[in-house]
Every structure is written in C-alpha cells, then in structure tokens.
Structure 1
Amino acid sequence: MRASQLFGYTNHTAKIDFESVSAYVTSMQTAIQAGQLISEREFYGSVRLRSHSLASLATNGIDYLEFRGFDLNPYAITGMTQKQLDFLHLFFTYLLALPKQAGTLGERLQQGQAVNEQIALENPNQPSSQQTILVQIMADLHQFILDYHFEPRFLAAWDVMNQQVLDYQLTTSYQLAQAIQDHSLTAFGLKQAQSMKQELLAKPYQLQGYTDMELSTQMLMFDAFQKGLHVAVLDRADQFVELTYQKHHELVKNGNMTSLDQLVSLPLVDNKVVTKILLANHGMRVPAGAEYTDVETAVADYQVAFGQRALVVKPKSSNMGAGITTFVTRPTEADFKQAFQLAQAYDSRVLVEEYIAGSEYRFLVMNQKVQAVLERVPANVVADGRLTIEQLVAKKNDNPLRGEEHLTPLQNIRLGEREQLILKQQGYQVTDIPARGSQIFLLQNSNISNGGDSVDVTDEVDPSYFAIAEQAAKVLNLNIAGIDIIMPNLYQAYNPEHPEMAVVLEANYNPAMLIHLFPMMGKRRRVTKKVLELLFPEM
C-alpha cells in the first residue's frame, strides 16, 4: 500500500524527467519553482539521482542512486534483512546486464508504475496476478547467478525470494495480514516497536547491519553517517572503510589507523625496546629491563641479576597484552621459564622488565592532545564465599557488555595457562572458593582486551600528567596514540624531581577507542568524532 500511487507517498503534480541528467535537473528545478515541490528532498519517486546538490548533479554527474520504493519489513529490526539487501543487489546487477528495451524511457516508466500500482493493491491472502512473470524472472535470475559465478550469499538470497514467489503465504505481506486480522495495524506496530526497542537497548553500542565489525569501526561509521559522509566498507573482516565528503576521500582501518600517521610509526611502536630508548632520551621514566632470545641466558640473569624483584615477562613485539606475564612477587624458576615460553609464542625476542607498582592508565592522544583517560583494572573477580573462581569468571562473563573479538565494550575473562599461572602465584586454583569479599586477579597486566575493567577518569586525573602523554606521542611522531602510564596517585600533581610518579610503559599506534566509548564505569567519550574532525577539517 505504501508503494501505491493512490494511498502511498507520491507527488501527483510534479513530473520529473529521467531521460538524462540535465533533463532530471531541469524538471526538478521547474517543479520547485512552480511550488509543486518544496525541495529536491520532497520528491517521492522510487529512484532519485543524487549528488551533493542539484547544481553539483548538473556539473559533476551522479554520485549514487537513491532507491526509495521499498516497504519496511516489520519483522526486521533494521527494516530490511541482509538477505533482502543481497537480493536487491543481485536484482539491480541483473537489470544492468539486460539489453536496452524498445520505446522511450518515459513509456517504460509508465508501464512499470502501472504494474507497481496493480501489485501494491493486490490482496495479500491470494497469489499475485503477476506470478507467471515473476516465476520466469526468478528463473532468469538463477541462470544469471550461475553464469556469472556469484557468491553463495546471493544464491541464498535468491532462494528465499523464490520460495515467496512460489508460495504467497511465505511473503511478508501475507504474514502481516494474518498478524493484524484480529487486531489493528496500530496495535501490531506498537507491539513490534516495543519489542525491537527492548532488543536495541540491550546492546546500545551496536550499529545494526555492521555488528560483525569491530566496535570502534562501528561507532566511527555511525558518526560518519550522522555527519553526512559517504561510507563504503571495503573489507569487513579487515575493518577497512572509505569515507568521502565531496571529492575528499580518506581510508580508515580499525577505526583510527589513517593517513595522519607515518608508515614508520607502526614498526617503531611495535618495537618496545626502541620505544623505551626514545622516551628515556627525552627524560621520561620507563621500566628498566633487558632483551633475550634464549631462555638459558634469561634464567642465568634471573638467578644473579634480578634478585628478589617483581618482574614482567613479555614479547618484544605484541599487542593487546598478548603473551605478557606479570609477577608481583619473585617467581620460581619454573614459573619464570613458563612465562618466558608463553612470551616466545608471540615473538622469539623476549623482554624481562622490572614490575612497576601502581595503577595503569590509558591516555588517548589525538593531534598531540589528550582526549580521554581510562583507568584499566586487570581481569579480576570478587568472591562471594560460595562460588569457585571458575564459576565467578563464568558469572562475570555473563554481562552483555562482555564478548569476543572486540565486538563488545568489554572482553571475556579467560582461564588459560597464563591466568592459572597468576592464580598459582596467589595460592589459588580455579576450583578454589575464596573468602567472601576478596578480590582475585586473573592477570596483572591490565589490558581490557584480556578481560580487564575500564573506568573513565578523564576529569579526575591531575592535568600535569597530560603533558607527559602528549610529549610521548610527539616524540614517537604519533597523531593518534594510546599512551600507557603507571601512576601511584592520579590526583597528586606530577613532580619532575620524582619521575617514578609517572612511568611510561608503552605506546600504541592502534588504540582501541571502544574502551573510551563504552567504559565499564564513568563518562563515555565520543572520541570517534575527533577522528572525523581531524580527517575532514573542512566540515
């Protein structure tokens, strides 16, 4: 009904000419000047030729086509399922491959509108009067898929639509007619709206239609849509998108890897030794340590040089806390060797560093200005006196904010070899029931990607620490960076005579923005908007 010329959205007086781009622009301008349309946006045709403006359309041609003649699917939370979109993609590709038909474009449009009107007003409880034609079109489409070797998802989308062509009782219109036969359409609509609202609010951090992508990328795309940028997903699995404003194009990977940073930044920050040398040369306090390629040499130094120190054993190059083991007390030689081997699974070169006591903070720096500060608490559980550690972890992982692959604001806590090694240092096994109220740490490194908790403290940390993070980003020549700093007291102003008040652990060239967008506690920081501001200053 919505697509009907009689009952749906339509412009009865405005006649828009599609014979050419210039004819389209001229007829649109004429309709606006005659008062038949308020603006181009009021034209309710099933297709609109789009550019930045009518003037741009006349000069530069069509940027894209806007299809408007679709009824929303009341059973899909986004108004249209992925299979419906895939079928439309397939169908439009098929139309492009057809030879030009006889007659003028205007005549063919009139014929199409007449058929559309007929189908729009058909009884949904009966087969379509056009079923014979539809069956033939679907057969042609199937052959088209086979001839041009389309991806399996297009065949799956065709199959769903073909079943609806063969059996009208599978169509959305029939299902809707059955749903409202004893109730009003308004009552049905309210029921569906309430159900979908509840579903959306359960996961407000997701961008529907792109929930398989990393969360920082989802939110960057959401903000880009809001600003009117054209967003093209180039590679979903690799989080590669292209953003366009007029003739300005920018490529973005993982939400914040952009042309703003230099090629050398990635290998520089990946190399934790070089990073520490550069920061130390500019007067910043960094953890003392040494690099090893074989466990025998490391063990010899462990026995002689490290004394009774607490230690951190980690790969020379790693991200998101992978392969890092922290010992807050001197480990046994066996545990030290095990930690070394865990680190070597990620890099043959292993760093053994002094453990720095204090809370760890992530400073997100963009354009050498701090945008957000997050306190990162290592993965932990709080005992209730009844559940085992294993059960406490499972209970905490039930939080809908937790998940895997950076598709949720927080990551699940694991109970792998590394976590059990840390529990052993505290005298626990996963089957133990700790005393009520005791906090049990599964890791000592505080990466959110390893199940840690996040607390926004941007408005609480003393501003004197901002300068340290900003200087670190400047020294490493990073435009978008995550600087990790350990501080005993975030409220106490930094004193240069006591550099131990701020120890820079490392820098990250691809900082996960999602931890600032949706912290476990504290204020949310929409840092994705700052990325767009840096990429498109003209907006």
Structure 2
Amino acid sequence: MRIVKFDEIGNVIEKEKMTGALFNIAWKVSRPRQVVRRDGSLGNAELEQKDNPYLNVSKGVVELTTRSWLSSSKLFFDMKLQEHTLRKAIGDDDYLWPFSCGIKKDSKLEPKILLRFPEGLFKELYESEFKRSKISYMTFRNQVYMKVLRGFVSKRWFLEYLFGATPYDFAAGEVEGKSSPKRSASNNINPVVQKQADNLNYLSLKKYLETSDRTNPDGIMPNGNYADLNEMKNQGIHYLQIETVDYDPRSILGVTPLMISTLELMAGYFLMTENVDESILNDSRSFSLNVAKESPYAKSDVVTKARLFMQDILRFGEKLGFPKMQSVSDALKIRIEEPENTPAAKLIRLQGSQSLFDYGINLMQKNQNEVLDTGFDDGSARLIEESILNGISYQPVIPEANIVQIGSKMIKSGIQTSSDSALMKEIWDKKSVAKQFVEQFGFTVLSDYIVGNRRNFDEIFPRVKGMAVSVKNAEGPSDEKASLFRLAPTKEELWDAVSRIIRDGKKAMIELVVPGSVYRALFFQDRILSVIERLPAGVVGDGRRTIKQLIDSKNLSDKTNQIVIGPSEKETMDVQGVTLETIPGRGNEVLLRYDATSGTGNRSLEVLDEIDSSYLDELCRLAKALRLHDGALDIVIPNIYQRYDADHPEALIFLNAHATPKLSMHENVLLIGNQNIAKKIVMMQ
C-alpha cells in the first residue's frame, strides 16, 4: 500500500491543525449553454440584460454565473435558483442544450469552475513558517497556487476519464456511422493546439505569463479579478479556473456534486503533497489527448495510472476526514474499474436506437419539464428571479424561513423587511447563519459544524479531532447542556456532549475554540451600556469547607444564578482531580465549568471603562451590520488593552447575537457589586 507523503506545506498544515481550511474551499461556476429549439435549430433567448454578473446572452448562448465564492452546498443551491429562473424566462419554445459540444461552431460550452483557497490559510502558513524565507506574502501565495495548478495539469487525463461526456462534436458534423465515439470530443484538441500547450511553462507565475496569452489550451489556468492578464503580475493569483470537465447531460444542472467533491479532494492533495515536476507535463498532455479520443467502452490505456492516483487521493481524503468519502470513493471506483459506467459510455447505451443528437433533443425537453423546487414561497422566489434577471445582488439567508437579502435589504416572504428586529432575530437565533452573515462585512468568525445525528457526527469528527472545541445549541440560546473542551476531547467524550443536546430534538453546534476571553456587549438604542467579561462558574476555597458547601453558600447569596451540578460540572471537576467532597486550600479556585453559558452560575466582570475604545467602535460597526439596535453581542477578544488593528481582524471574533439578553449578567458583577443597568435604560426613554 502506497503511503501519502506530505511536503513542507503539508506538514505545516497538519502540525498546525489547519486541515479544516481544506473543507472551506470556495467556488464559483459559470455555465454557458446553447439555446436550441425543438427541431434542433439554434434558438435566440430574448432576455434583457446589461452588465449582469449572473446572466450573459450572446449569439444563442446563455451563460449563468453563480454568486462569488460559495461553499459547495451553497453553490448547488445557487445553481438551482439560477437554472429555475432561466428556464422560466426563456419560454416554452427554447431549451438548454445538455452537451459541452454545441450544435454550432465556435461556441465554448464547457463549464468554468473556479476554486479559491481560504485567504486565512495562506496567511497562517506564511506567518507560521514561510515568512522566514524572505519572500513576499503575494509571491508565496502565487507559488502555492502554481504548485496546485501543476498538479491539476498533470492529471487532466484523470478528469477527462472520469467526466468525459461528449462522444461526438456535433458542430463538426460528427455523427454515428461517420465518426467513432470518443470519451470527450470537447477535449480532443488538434496537434497545433497541443503544441501551443506544450510551450506553456507553469514553473512560476512569471514564466507562465511569459509563455501564455489570455487563452490556455490546457483549460486549467491561474486567474483573478482583472480584465488584463498582465495585471496578475502586480495583483497575484486570486483563484484557479478549470474548463476541462464536461457537462453531465443527464444532470439538469450539468455540474454534479461528484465533480466538485473530486476537484476539492484533488486540490487538497496537490496542496499538501510533493511538487509535480514541470518536465512531466508534456507527457501528461499526451495521456490527456489519448484519453479524450479513446472509445468510451474500451479499457483505457491509463486505467492502471488512474487506479493508483484514485487510491492516493482516497487515502488522503480518509486521513484528513473529507466529507462524504464513502459515496465519492464508490462512484470513482465504479467508473475506473468498469469503463461502461463512465459518463460517455452510459450516454451511448442510453441513446438506444436513436442518434445521440436526437437523444440530446429529447433530454433537453425532459430537463425543461423537470420541476426544480427551490423551497421558497412565491414572494421570495419572485424576488430572487427578478434579482438574477436584472443583475441585483441577492443571497438566500434562511431559505426554510423564506428570508432573503436583496441588495442591502433583508426581506421575508417577498414583503416583510428588517425595519424592526423581529426578522433579524430569526437570523441571530441560527448561530451559523448569523456568523456567515457578518463574514460578508469582514468580521472574523470561528469554524463550526452542525450535528443532528450520530451519522453527522461520525462524518464531522475527523475534522475536529485533536482540537479544542465547544458544544452548544445550534439555534437559540444555549443552556447548561453546553460544554467547552480546553483539551481535545476523545470521540466518545465529544459525542456525549453532543448527544446531551440533540436527544431533545435540537441540533448541536461544534465550534472550534481559539485563545482569548469571551465578552458580551449590551446595546440599547444603538449605544453600548456595558461590556462584561464572561467568567465560568467556580468557587474559591477557604481551607475549611468542601466544594459542595462552597456551592451551597454561593447559591444562597445569589438566587438568580444558581449552580447546579450536572454532567459538565462533574467532567470539569474530574479534569482537575477534585470531587464535591474535596476541601480546596485557602485562595485556591476550582472551576466548575470551562464555558460561561448563561444560567450556569457564570460570573461577570465589567470592563467598559478598561477596554480600548477602538473595540467599542468595531462593536458598533458589528451591531450595525447585524441591524442590532437593542440586544447583546458575544465576542472573543485576546487582549482588550491592545488597540484593535484592522489588518488583524482575528483580534475580535463574533460568536452570537441576542435579542433579549439577561440584564442581571450586567448588573451583578465582580468587584463593583451591583450596577443599575435597568435605571440607565429607563432614564434614556
């Protein structure tokens, strides 16, 4: 069995526990499709559009482009929304051609799949290890992207084998009886183009720009948010663009989850394993050309190489805990071991006695009549449709609650706006959604995973293994069932914490923990009234009384915030090697929990007069982003005395927002005693 070996980058990622970033690759997809009529002639979609980032119409080709930089799950939801909108808009007589090879020449129809690594991953790698090499941050980022790019170019043949689905080039007159079927006619480049590709140099960005123009015969290239390729010299690589994957004609969207999962797996593998030598790329192109033009039913000449590479990336995925590994593994193995199960071979089998062109005509009509349920009610669906058709920014916020963002407005069911806090409260209650919402304003949040059952948990655990985590309610306020593990828990310890929450029918959130103290800022009418440091429940020994007696005494003095000994408290005491009958020494503190969840005997320390004012400005900006006028924000700050620096947004991390926080947390504070927050509010009326 071959062992997956990491290079220097891979070793740092594993050592510093950055592997979670590989599950956060961001995606953007453009899907050009020819508009074709029932009789097989080229259609003409008459859609009004001007400077539309989502929709472009040109010479019978309609191109849909998703919103920028989405997770894989959000990517497919966005493609579904756009597909639904376009199919309604083009009418009953026009259809979307399902193949990557169109019916008219000079039409590039392959999907453009853009992938971007999290910027935070590059920054952490650079700061933790590679800054000492004396190269600039942008040069380092470019080098990493070029490394991954070389990997993809070297395995283009692998993608063609797995996803090739264009047996004939219809525009070139290829049909049954006159031409032999191919695995991927869209990737069957001619010798002249092959020679142009051989001249490309991927050793560095500088050499690539010297040997490339705007076109790239390999169909796998560095790119960025600029019109002129030469701007890449100064701005660097922003993302990788892949155009070698054929549409799956049997999928309504054309792009499938297996495609994205495979690309994600390959991207992580190329990032963390040894460099691909530039010298092998020309040989790899020869493999690609052979795979593209070979018979879909034949056992491929590269099947042995494909099997070995598949085994490598699957071992890599299992080692790092990539999601849905079993289904991805099963799908890849079937295609590699059984040529008749590759997409091109399946198409030929399914076409039956009709020509593949006629099969495509029937398939596009079938797809057009397929119902694409977006899950939105009529009002929200209509707003999104018109936003897509008119190029207005949109974002599904909570689809199941019919809450969408159109432009800068939050709207529910097509009519209710966020002029009051009722709508926003629905967003705040869903912690993961609220975090995603504030991210778009540049705020830092902690990575989290939502768990609803044991199967979810088993899939997620490899991604948090070895890390400090907290467990809380995924929706609404947390309670005494919340847990915090300062040291990485075992799988069963973490499952016990999760199961305490989900056994009540709720969903649990597993959230990564970072160094820093947790604070709560209280707002009223857009003003900060109080900022408290949230401290977990604990007792201080007097050398005479047991821990149980100290707790009883504390509960007598504070009837509103009782300490109840439950599983979390017992586990915390076990870690410290004490029991309820232990007598702590005088002045020794014993923590009863590691988290400061409300209602667990937690304590508060007022810091409004101590915190650097720059944090107060940033908290007000955060509240404004969340449209929180009255309520509270929970945040993590490593050092409240050090001025906030916008270049280091991780100095303030958003956790939660609350519409109805407990005032008592801000009134009963250590050192001061009682401070009358209620009176402040009354006097402000």
Q: TM-score, normalised by structure 2?
A: 0.37
